[in-house]
Structure 1
């Protein structure tokens, strides 16, 4: 469950949601700022910022959207596109609250919303991933070993950042004929994901030479036996992991903004481009439905279309 509990204020839940967008979903700063603007206006205008989100009902949401069309304090109403965006932001906030067990029911579910086109995830190239690993490997001491292991594990398994942050060394099975990691997805659903030789080597180096040194810096006992530790020997946070990935990508010269979720996207896209079946990718990603995984077939199809257009002699006559 989220640290933003049901008895917290609506503002608390909003902060948790914005953190989720940044760390889990890899949303850009521009996207997060848009959600923040729409949702803070909703909470302030309805006077619910300091009250529990559970007190908000469908009537309050509809009233707010209606008021947006009429305008506030003499200001003209918003455009249909702006109202649709505000509606989408509110629905996303309540879906998050339900998924985190902050709310038991979603009052925004009855609010109608026009379907908008989905943005396809952008995979980063193998060359960019190699450059990131090179940059991380140049960091001195145990931090470099940790960062290489983190990148190899995220890209090598397609795991969600929360799944990786919740791992302990006991969840790794690096020896034998089937090296793998035990991941716990949404609803604590367990799945086993194979580990390639590069990930195994990086994790072994970190566990042998890096993690013990970091653990030795802890002034207090580390709770939960976490796999990844920060410089103080304590559990590495999701936000810190996001910053490691983002800063490493910048230092490596990656063209696009890179987050832990970008590595998950890249894992899925590269598997499909290499010939993996969508069902296999679904199992590896831990998607409950193959429909969620199908977006990656569109990404791969776009790549094939570009290759065809560039290389076939009669593609662009």
Structure 2
């Protein structure tokens, strides 16, 4: 709530009310993630703060373009500009539907496409070293070390997002089938699978780790913090960064880097692109295709083996 109060203090009461209503629309009706809602709200607070008063009618295409142009001149990244444009378009479309604007100026607003680049990806041998180190650290059966081992195994085995893995409850896990039910972006539910190493880490955590951290009346979360509450994604990111930093030659990556590694290694191993799409929870195949450019080495091997003119 503090962030919400901060981004509306400079807005006229009427405009601040419109921003509140739009935020509620994103959260309750559109099912956008809390991260997206916060980002859009912050973007729009800056846009609406440019209005000369409390009349939304002056929010036209020229104002939208000048807002983005100033951000571009200030060195704002392409991805941030694209997000701000998306926030503006979503807001003006909502304002038009609800009668706050007579037309939708955002419908004609163009924005640069974000640069779609993958970060550095762990090699398969580096990922193996990472998991071996986590298993070694958990050998003493320290509850936090056991949790961290399971966190790393699940992130790499399933390719789930950090918020998704922290949101898993114990009942979401089907140990007999080695599957986990996760809730992804847009409240889309999907089932992901994990392998034998993650299964071993899970069983050890449930038997010797989680009971030591759980508190009476605590959450049903699979992964717990040291105080018995659901593991915070920020703590999970710190765990991953620290663990990867201990692997010689490994790039500095966090949970999303393990997600990229999982997708890349699956494709390198011959997995179908549609399967990887389902595992990662991508709404469109084009997002998953981003990973195909890092599998060129495998493509060359297949070409050399299969093409008569290789």
- TM-score norm. by structure 1 comes to 0.67
Q: What is the aligned length?
A: 266
Q: Relative to structure 2, which stretch is displaced further, 202-211 or 243-252?
A: 243-252
Unaligned 5+ segments in structure 1 are 22-34, 49-53, 70-77
Task: Return the offset for 1:203.
Answer: 0.5
The answer to whether the aligner puts 1:61 opposite 2:59 as a matched pair is: no
Matches within 5 A, 1:175-254: 175=176, 178-215=177-214, 218=215, 221-223=217-219, 225-254=220-249
Instruction: Determine which structure has the larger helix proportion and give its number.
Output: 2
Give 1:171's aligned residue: 172
Deviation at 1:193, TM superposition (A): 1.8
Separation in 2, partners of 1:284, 1:257: 24
* Map of 1:32 onto structure 2: none
CA distance in 2, matches of 1:201, 1:4: 42
The residue aligned with 2:12 is: none
| Structure 1 residues 291 and 84, CA gap change in structure 2 (3 angstroms) | closer
Decide which structure has the larger Cα Rg and report it: 2
Q: Secondary structure at the match of 2:192?
A: strand
* Equivalent position of 1:126 in the other structure: 124
Cα distance change on mapping 1:109 and 1:295 into 2, 3 Å: farther
Q: 1:136 aligns with which of 131, 134, 152?
A: 134
Query: Unaligned 5+ residue runs, structure 2?
Result: 10-19, 24-31, 51-55, 99-103
Instruction: Render the CA deviation track for 1:167-216: whole Å, top value 9, x for unaligned.
Output: 111111112xx32111222233222222211111110100110000011x
Asked if 2 retains the 8 angstrom alpha-carbon contact of 1:90 and 1:108, the reply is no
Tell me the distance in 2 between the aligned counterparts of 1:123 and 1:242.
Answer: 16
- Residues in 2 aligned to 1:146 and 1:307: alpha-carbon distance in whole angstroms: 39
Q: Would you say the 8 A contact 2:78–2:113 is kept in 1? A: no
1:132 positional shift: 2.1
Change (3 A) 1:96 1:162: farther
Counterparts of 1:107 and 1:130, CA distance in 2: 52
Contact 2:244/2:252, CA 8 A, preserved across alignment: yes
Change (3 A) 1:209 1:90: same
Residue by residue over 1:121-170, the C-alpha shift from the partner in whole angstroms, topping out at 9 and shown as x without a partner, is: 43211222222223333155111110111111111111111111111111
Return the offset for 1:4: 8.6
Q: 1:57 to 1:144 in 2, by over 3 A?
A: farther
Rounded Cα–Cα distance in structure 2 between residues aligned with 1:132 and 1:96: 41
In structure 2, which of residues 276, 280, 287 is the aligned counterpart of residue 292 of structure 1? 287
CA separation of 1:253 and 1:281: change in aligned 2, threshold 3 A: same
Q: In structure 2, which of residues 78, 82, 89 is the aligned counterpart of residue 88 of structure 1? A: 82
Q: Structure 1 residues 124 and 45, CA, compared in 2 at 3 Å: closer, same or farther?
A: same
Q: Report the Cα offset of residue 258 of structure 1.
A: 1.1
Q: Rate the CA distance shift 1:95–1:232 in 2: closer, same or farther, 3 A.
A: farther
Structure 1 position 296, deviation (Å): 1.5
Q: 1:116 to 1:264 in 2, by over 3 A?
A: closer
Aligned to 1:158: 159
